[in-house]
Amino acid sequence: MTPVAVLAGLAGLLAGHTAVNARLLRRPTATSTGLRVSVLLPLRDEAGRVGPCLHALLGQRGVDLEVVVLDDGSTDGTGDLVRALSDGDPRVRVLVGRALPRDWLGKPHACQQLADAAAPTSEVLVFVDADVVLAPHAVAATVALLDETGLDLLSPYPRQEAPGATALVQPLLQWSWLTFLPLRLAERSARESLSAANGQLLAVRRTAYDRAGGHAAVRGHVVEDVELLRAIKRRGGRGGVCDGTAIATTRMYESWAELGDGYAKSLWTVPLPSLAVLVALYVVPPVAALRGSRAGAVGYAAGVAGRVVTARRTGSRPFPEALAHPVSVALVTGLAIRSRLTRRRGGLTWKGRSL
């Protein structure tokens, strides 16, 4: 058996695993919960995005909640805009963020301040990013599923809106964990390597959060959401991702330039062997197919099939993006290399702060 045939076989097995995961992926569907919730919204220069997010939060149904907002040194009037939009709603509190300590990154510091300010009676903390718009039952459904499963952390993955060229890369977010992570095993496993989470929408039991040390335990991590789950696992907790397609949408980037800058801050954390595996599985077979290899054509088809399954399960467009899967993998590999080089030069920044 040739190396290309081996790679094609592995890609086929992973496509099958993607299909299994897609069937097992949990969906938050409840319309109410009896648990008390604090929704925590960190903001830094989000005046252009926060309106739809806040409006959706104030329209939540079936849940007793407060909304705590932290204005983290914004220079675009974000805090004043939030105060105006909330129009004296007693459920909303707007905090002014403290100066960033030297050993903290910005988002973990903002999230920790929010958690510290949450009402003592809140049993669940729900962290939301400003670019996320929730359906009216989203918080209730998320918290109810967290309670039903007995997990300590649950992260519904929002539907990713990806305009233009960003559609070549954004769908890889869901594809990656649907393809490589055994979801149900990961939920119950103590292995930190079997961890996936998304800070765009993340619910965590207050007791588990405090026991793990909160965001203080991940103060220096760029990928703080996954690291928070790992910290919770170290203290005996469990958690994972679920399907947020029907309850949340997000539009992270408007252009390829924005996507490149956004990915630069975190893709350096992807190990080089993982990038090599991606290229071997999803770029080498298609290249071989162009040279007449039947095994390469099978490997290419397997990669496309995995992308189609992911797209249909997560609400994104399957074609023509799935057909460009080798290009997508090559692009994200290039972005990861760029991220590593930028970090080596000390040039990583986000929201005006050095990383």
289 occurs within a structural domain = yes
What tens digit of pLDDT does each residue of 166-200 get?
999 999 999 999 999 999 999 999 999 999 999 99
CATH number of residue 72's parent domain: 3.90.550.10
Give the model's pLDDT for residue 1: 82
- State the average pLDDT for the chain: 95
- Place 352 in a pLDDT band, splitting at 50, 70 and 90: confident
- Does one domain contain both 213 and 74? yes
236 occurs within a structural domain = yes
What average pLDDT does the segment 25-31 reach? 96
- Does one domain contain both 119 and 11? no
End position of a domain, from candidates 250, 270, 298? 250
- Does one domain contain both 306 and 232? no
Among residues of the chain, what percentage have pLDDT more than 90? 95
End position of a domain, from candidates 250, 275, 301? 250
- Does one domain contain both 114 and 129? yes
Segment (H or E) for 31: none
Give the model's pLDDT for residue 346: 86
How many domains, in total, are found in the chain? 2
What tens digit of pLDDT does each residue of 72-123 get?
999 999 999 999 999 889 999 999 999 999 999 999 999 999 999 999 999 9
pTM: 0.95
What is the Cα–Cα distance from 225 to 238, expressed in whole angstroms?
14
- Does one domain contain both 63 and 134? yes
- Does one domain contain both 42 and 8? no
322: pLDDT strictly greater than 80: yes
What tens digit of pLDDT does each residue of 258-269 get?
999 999 999 999
- Does one domain contain both 207 and 302? no
Nearest in space to 92 (alpha carbons), one of 44, 140, 40, 16: 40
The first and second tokens of residue 120, run together, are 């003592």
What tens digit of pLDDT does each residue of 214-247 get?
999 999 999 999 999 999 999 999 999 999 999 9
Give the model's pLDDT for residue 58: 96
Domain of residue 192 covers 25-250
- Place 257 in a pLDDT band, splitting at 50, 70 and 90: very high
- Place 355 in a pLDDT band, splitting at 50, 70 and 90: confident
- Does one domain contain both 182 and 290? no
154 occurs within a structural domain = yes
What average pLDDT does the segment 5-10 reach? 96
208 occurs within a structural domain = yes
Question: Exposed, middle or buried by CB within 10 Å (0-12, 13-18, 19+), for 102?
Answer: exposed
Give the model's pLDDT for residue 351: 79
Name which of 18-32, 147-161, 204-218, 334-348 the model is least confident about: 334-348
**DSSP string for 193-243:** TS----TTEEEEEHHHHHHHTGGGGGTT-SSHHHHHHHHHHHTT--EEEEE
- Does one domain contain both 267 and 221? no
- Does one domain contain both 171 and 262? no
Among residues of the chain, what percentage have pLDDT more than 70? 100
355 occurs within a structural domain = no
350: pLDDT strictly greater than 90: no
135 occurs within a structural domain = yes
What average pLDDT does the segment 272-294 reach? 96
87 occurs within a structural domain = yes
Where helices occur in the chain by DSSP H, the ranges are 3-24, 50-58, 78-86, 106-117, 138-149, 172-180, 183-188, 206-212, 224-234, 256-264, 272-282, 284-290, 294-314, 325-344
End position of a domain, from candidates 200, 225, 250? 250
What tens digit of pLDDT does each residue of 38-55 get?
999 999 999 999 999 999
- Does one domain contain both 152 and 286? no
- Does one domain contain both 49 and 146? yes
Triad 211, 213, 214: Cα angle to 5°: 105
Question: Exposed, middle or buried by CB within 10 Å (0-12, 13-18, 19+), for 64?
Answer: middle
What is the Cα–Cα distance from 261 to 184, expressed in whole angstroms?
33
300 occurs within a structural domain = yes
